[in-house]
Copies of this chain bind each other. A is one copy, B any other.
Amino acid sequence: MNSTQYSIDRRDIRFVQKEFLRVQELTRLEGLSQFTEEDFDLILQEGCNFAEEVLAPLNKTGDQDGSKLTDGKVKTPAGFKEAWQQFGEYGWLGITSPAEFGGQGLPLSVAVGVLEGFFGANPGLYLTPMLTTGSAGLIVRFGSDEQKAAYCEKMITGVWAGTMCLSEPNAGTAVGDITTSAEKAPDGDHYLIRGTKTWISGGDHDFTENIIHLVLARVKGAPAGPKGISLFIVPKFRLDANGDPGEFNGVTTVSLEHKLGIKSSPTAMLEFGGDTESHGFLLEGENLGMSQMFTLMNEARYVVAYQGLGAAAGAYRNALAYANERIQGIPIESGKDPSAQRTPILSHPDVRNMLMTMKALVEGTRGLIHALGYYTDMLHHGPESTRQHYRDLVDILTPVAKNAGADQGFEAIRLGIQVLGGVGYTEEFPLAQHLRDTKIASIYEGTSGIQALDLVTRKLNLRGGELYMSLLKEISDLDEAAARSQGLSAAIVEWKSSLELLKATVAALGETMKTQGAREAVFNASDVTVMFGDVMCAYYLLKMALVAQDALEKLTGGQDAALKALESEETAFYYNKIKTAEHYVFQILPRIKGIEFKVRSGNYAALEAVLTTG
């Protein structure tokens, strides 16, 4: 690893996948038995190579060039089209898509180890493949046989690209307020789509001959609000008799956004059905659009979680390398002796604190995100008897993971810039771009505030709180007696008391809802989501620390871990896993003490203040 190039922590991902989650055992499940452990190893290997060697080198130039709109056509940065083609050719677009449409059908917990790297290496580029896979997935799930045959394989193999068209100028978060209209054509199976969509990632580009837009629109006469929304396939070019791109379908690029980051990604405003008719093809049936789109949205929220993770993980490795190579100052224990040996900044306690906080945020989030992938795999492929349990976990943890990845990822990058100091503020090092690129993660696919509302008002209450109960059950297995060091044992005890704080806070929210009302009950929803994220990340880190403890004992024969840690990269790796869990529990998790107090303070001054402007 070095301080300027993107690289992936393959060792840590392998640990999470194979030593912690034991994903190789998924090959025993129905629908996954075609895979071997070696397949999974190879995927990780090759995916990381692709991210580091193909995607990462285009990240900075892509940011500098940006995507440009000229004469109605979008030009993407140099090299992007070629990288896109490799996405398709090498099967990365369809890594989790069904084999019948050209996908690889890999379990999510295996794929995510690679996907983290795709996003971290080049988020502006990866957005278009990601949305193509996602929108193809919607057609796989809800399309007619004819629609599937027409679109899915071409999208999953990268012949065509796809988008999601939800937002409009006056309907962003409140997607139920969209006004794009769909009117059944008198002479055919299609609808005429008319309206303007904004914030369309990969809305137009020069990667492919055709772009398949999935568009939310309101059929004339449909009920008001979210219940009257339908989902349409709207190709940029209509398919001719051979199924190839034919006539222009009236999808016009009005403008591209000028953004803080992900500048290489063309974020478009699209007009449908202006001078030329836009033909739309209904998915499944009228007025089913919102629930269909939410299927994709939940996947997209998971994707955003690993976007934050991938960037933060890269930033951590850059910062760690820099802290090892940059000589500055003398160790604090040398006092003011001007002749003392100069030291790498790694030795300064404040720098170490920041680095370990980055590491703990990255590895905690990686644990959470991989576990969520694993729960998804068990939901799809595991025994019938446990599917509801895993569905509960996926549902309740999706908003938690989205905010943890987005917000803690951003925070880790901010710390990375701080570790580098002055050079961190320049675009010569990758961290400044990571900061800019990653800021979007807390905004799109539902802002952090929306995730928090989803958790607090919906997920915690669904089925009488059973999702929450499933979660508590899942994390009830930590036992301090299993720890063989005082530090780890103390960390588990402290984590348990944090879990009690979380429970007390959730109970307090219910009480607030009863005694005060909805406004007060959701006031601290974002804080409570941080709390869930912290408790969960610490949980996975502690679980992993217990695994590492056993592995370390095997390697060292039970000798003093701190001493043996220095012997090899492997012993250091396991030793650090234990220290990382301790650091999270004692140096990050304590913030939930403040959150619990905030929630229970019952002070809602912010709701009382008069904030209308003069």
Binding site for B on A (CB under 8 A): 1, 167, 170-174, 176-177, 198-199, 223-227, 257-261, 320-321, 323-324, 327-330, 332-333, 336, 338-339, 342, 346, 348-357, 359, 410, 414, 417-418, 421-422, 424-428, 432, 435-436, 439-440, 442-444, 447-449, 452-453, 457, 487, 490-491, 494, 517-520, 522-526, 562, 565-566, 569, 572, 575-576, 578-580, 582-583, 585-587, 590-595, 597-598, 601, 603, 605-614
Select A333's contact among B332, B517, B578, B598, beta carbons within 8 Å.
B517
Residues of B close to A440: CB separation below 8 A: 425
Select A260's contact among B225, B348, B436, B598, beta carbons within 8 Å.
B436
- Per DSSP, chain A at the interface is helix
Select A338's contact among B226, B566, B586, beta carbons within 8 Å.
B226
Report 24 cross-chain contacts, Cβ distance below 8 Å, ordered by A residue: A173-B328, A174-B342, A176-B338, A198-B422, A224-B338, A260-B435, A261-B425, A324-B612, A349-B522, A350-B523, A353-B523, A354-B449, A356-B609, A359-B609, A417-B443, A418-B447, A421-B447, A425-B439, A491-B603, A562-B608, A575-B610, A582-B603, A586-B601, A591-B591
A606: nearest residue on chain B (CB-CB)?
B356
- Quote the shortest CB–CB distance from A489 to chain B (angstroms): 12
Given A174-B329, A572-B610, A582-B603: A422 in contact with B444 (beta carbons within 8 A): yes
C-alpha gap A6/B198 in the complex (Å): 26
Q: Which 3 A-B pairs have the closest CB atoms?
A: A225-B338, A356-B606, A586-B603
Contact present for A526 and B350 (CB under 8 Å): yes
- Quote the shortest CB–CB distance from A505 to chain B (angstroms): 12
Residues of B close to A591: CB separation below 8 A: 591, 594
Contact present for B338 and A260 (CB under 8 Å): no
Contact present for A606 and B518 (CB under 8 Å): no
Contact present for A579 and B609 (CB under 8 Å): yes
C-alpha gap A286/B279 in the complex (Å): 81
Given A580-B605, A590-B597: A260 in contact with B427 (beta carbons within 8 A): yes
A257: nearest residue on chain B (CB-CB)?
B426
Contact present for A353 and B526 (CB under 8 Å): yes
Contact present for A518 and B603 (CB under 8 Å): no
C-alpha gap A1/B614 in the complex (Å): 8
Contact present for B569 and A609 (CB under 8 Å): no
Residues of B close to A607: CB separation below 8 A: 349, 352
Residues of B close to A1: CB separation below 8 A: 613-614
C-alpha gap A174/B337 in the complex (Å): 13
C-alpha gap A223/B578 in the complex (Å): 45
Contact present for A522 and B425 (CB under 8 Å): no
Interface centre among A490, A517, A566, A583 (most CB of B within 10 A): A583
Contact present for A605 and B590 (CB under 8 Å): no
Interface centre among A1, A258, A324, A359 (most CB of B within 10 A): A258
Residues of B close to A323: CB separation below 8 A: 611
- Quote the shortest CB–CB distance from A405 to chain B (angstroms): 16
Contact present for B356 and A605 (CB under 8 Å): yes
Contact present for B612 and A355 (CB under 8 Å): no
Contact present for B606 and A353 (CB under 8 Å): yes
Contact present for A443 and B428 (CB under 8 Å): no
C-alpha gap A333/B520 in the complex (Å): 10
- Quote the shortest CB–CB distance from A443 to chain B (angstroms): 6
Select A605's contact among B173, B583, B612, beta carbons within 8 Å.
B583
Given A522-B332, A523-B353, A526-B350: A609 in contact with B580 (beta carbons within 8 A): yes
C-alpha gap A368/B110 in the complex (Å): 51
Given A418-B443, A443-B425, A586-B598: A350 in contact with B525 (beta carbons within 8 A): yes
A336: nearest residue on chain B (CB-CB)?
B225
C-alpha gap A426/B444 in the complex (Å): 13
Contact present for B519 and A611 (CB under 8 Å): no
C-alpha gap A418/B436 in the complex (Å): 14
- Quote the shortest CB–CB distance from A456 to chain B (angstroms): 10
Contact present for A224 and B339 (CB under 8 Å): yes
Contact present for B443 and A355 (CB under 8 Å): no
Contact present for B487 and A603 (CB under 8 Å): yes
C-alpha gap A597/B592 in the complex (Å): 11
Residues of B close to A410: CB separation below 8 A: 414
Given A260-B436, A333-B519, A523-B349: A575 in contact with B227 (beta carbons within 8 A): no
C-alpha gap A457/B517 in the complex (Å): 48
C-alpha gap A595/B439 in the complex (Å): 26
Contact present for A566 and B610 (CB under 8 Å): yes
Contact present for B350 and A453 (CB under 8 Å): yes
Given A167-B422, A417-B439: A227 in contact with B580 (beta carbons within 8 A): no
A524: nearest residue on chain B (CB-CB)?
B353
- Quote the shortest CB–CB distance from A338 to chain B (angstroms): 3
Contact present for B442 and A418 (CB under 8 Å): yes
- Quote the shortest CB–CB distance from A254 to chain B (angstroms): 14
Contact present for B418 and A448 (CB under 8 Å): yes
Contact present for A606 and B594 (CB under 8 Å): no
Contact present for B443 and A575 (CB under 8 Å): no
Contact present for B436 and A436 (CB under 8 Å): yes
C-alpha gap A448/B346 in the complex (Å): 16
Given A333-B518, A338-B224, A566-B610: A351 in contact with B449 (beta carbons within 8 A): yes
Residues of B close to A608: CB separation below 8 A: 562, 579
- Quote the shortest CB–CB distance from A330 to chain B (angstroms): 8
